[in-house]
Amino acid sequence: MSNALVPSIETPDTGVALLPRLLLGLVGAALVFSGFGVWLFPAAEDLPELTLMKLGVSVFMVTGGACCLAIAQPFRRRVFIPQQTL
């Protein structure tokens, strides 16, 4: 049975844990922008070891920021409405 055939109401979870969601969103956006910003400013020395370290740090920051942004999304509860058969 697919979910399209089952009636349900999605109710947003408003006001629950608003401050942690806001902080996670801000931290996530800062991490994503910082991950890309690492490559915008030139380094004093362009050694291959530093480039590899920059790549690892930027991948870590973009991945961590994306995870924070995904967690900061509001959770939607699904309420099941049983069908009445005749």
β-strand partners of 12:
76
Greatest mean pLDDT range, 9-18, 56-65, 77-86: 56-65
What's the pLDDT at 42?
Answer: 75
Q: What CA–CA distances, in Å, run from 29 to 10, 20, 37?
A: 27, 14, 12
Residue spans per domain, the chain: 30-86
Residue 3 reports pLDDT greater than 70: no
C-beta of residue 31 within 8 angstroms of C-beta of residue 69: no
Q: pLDDT higher for 68 or 84?
A: 68
Q: What count of other Cβ atoms lies within 10 Å of the Cβ of residue 35?
A: 19
What pLDDT, in 10s, does the model give residues 28-73?
999 999 999 998 887 777 788 888 899 999 999 999 999 999 988 8
